[in-house]
C-alpha cells in the first residue's frame, strides 16, 4: 500500500486490482452508504479467504458506484471521526508514517502483529467528541486510500517522507 502509486483519476477497478495484486484482500462497498452491494451478500466469507482475481474484476468492472475496501488484519486502522478525536490520537498513540485523510477525520495505519480485532465505539447524543474513534483490526474493513467518497472528498494518503520503512 505504501509503495502503490495511485491518484484520484484511477477507477475503482484500477484501485481494486492494484491493491489485489499487492496481496491485499479487497471487497466492494457502495459509494453512497459504505455498505456491501446486494450482489456481495455481506463480506464475512472474505474475512479469511481472498476472492479470486477474476471475481474482483467482475465486481468492479464498469461500476463507478463502488469503492474499494480493504480487509484489515495484517494492519490495523485507528479511525478518528472528528477533529477532537484526531487530536486525541495525535497526543496519545504512537506516530505512524501512514495516515489517510477522510471526509470526517483521519485513518491512522499501524502494523497488527498481535492480531487485534475490530472495535466500534458506541455513539450517543452525549458521546465525547474526542472519543469518536473506531479500531479496524482483524475482520474489519476500511475504505482504501485514493477512493472518492460520495461527497467528492478523496481518501488522501499523507506520508512522513523521511521515515525508514525498513
Distances (CA, A) of 77 to 7, 71, 106, 128, 140: 21, 11, 10, 20, 9
* Confidence label for 124 from pLDDT (cuts 50, 70 and 90): low
Dig out the grid coordinates for 150 from the structure: 460520495
Is 100 exposed, middle or buried, given 0-12, 13-18 or 19+ CB atoms closer than 10 A?
A: buried
Angle between helices 12-21 and 53-60 (to 10 degrees): 160
Q: Is the pLDDT of residue 152 over 70?
A: yes
Dig out the grid coordinates for 161 from the structure: 517522507
Which pLDDT does position 122 carry in this prediction?
64
Contact criterion met (CB below 8 Å) for 42 and 57: no
Distances (CA, A) of 42 to 16, 30, 112, 138: 17, 12, 24, 16
Length of the chain: 166
* Confidence label for 82 from pLDDT (cuts 50, 70 and 90): confident
Higher pLDDT, 123 or 45: 45
At 3-39, the pLDDT tens digits run 678 877 889 999 999 999 999 999 999 999 999 999 9
Burial readout 38-61 (b: 16 or more C-beta within 10 A, e: otherwise):
eebeebeebeeeebeeeebeebbe
Which pLDDT does position 48 carry in this prediction?
81
- Lowest mean pLDDT segment, chosen from 23-37, 48-62, 83-97, 119-133: 119-133
Amino acid at each position: 500500500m505504501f509503495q502503490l502509486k495511485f491518484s484520484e483519476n484511477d477507477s475503482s477497478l484500477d484501485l481494486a486490482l492494484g491493491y489485489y495484486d499487492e496481496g491485499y484482500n479487497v471487497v466492494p462497498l457502495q459509494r453512497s452508504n459504505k455498505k456491501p452491494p446486494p450482489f456481495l451478500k455481506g463480506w464475512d466469507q472474505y474475512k479469511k479467504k481472498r476472492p479470486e482475481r477474476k471475481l474482483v474484476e467482475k465486481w468492479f468492472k464498469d461500476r463507478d458506484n463502488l469503492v474499494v475496501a480493504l480487509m484489515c488484519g495484517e494492519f490495523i486502522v485507528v479511525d478518528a471521526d472528528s477533529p477532537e478525536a484526531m487530536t486525541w490520537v495525535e497526543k496519545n498513540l504512537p506516530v505512524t508514517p501512514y495516515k489517510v485523510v477522510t471526509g470526517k477525520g483521519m485513518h491512522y495505519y499501524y502494523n497488527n502483529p498481535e492480531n487485534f480485532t475490530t472495535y466500534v465505539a458506541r455513539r450517543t447524543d452525549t458521546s465525547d467528541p474526542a472519543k469518536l474513534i473506531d479500531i479496524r483490526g482483524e475482520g474489519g474493513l476500511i475504505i482504501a486510500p485514493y477512493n472518492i467518497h460520495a461527497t467528492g472528498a478523496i481518501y488522501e494518503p499523507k506520508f512522513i517522507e523521511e521515515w525508514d520503512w525498513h
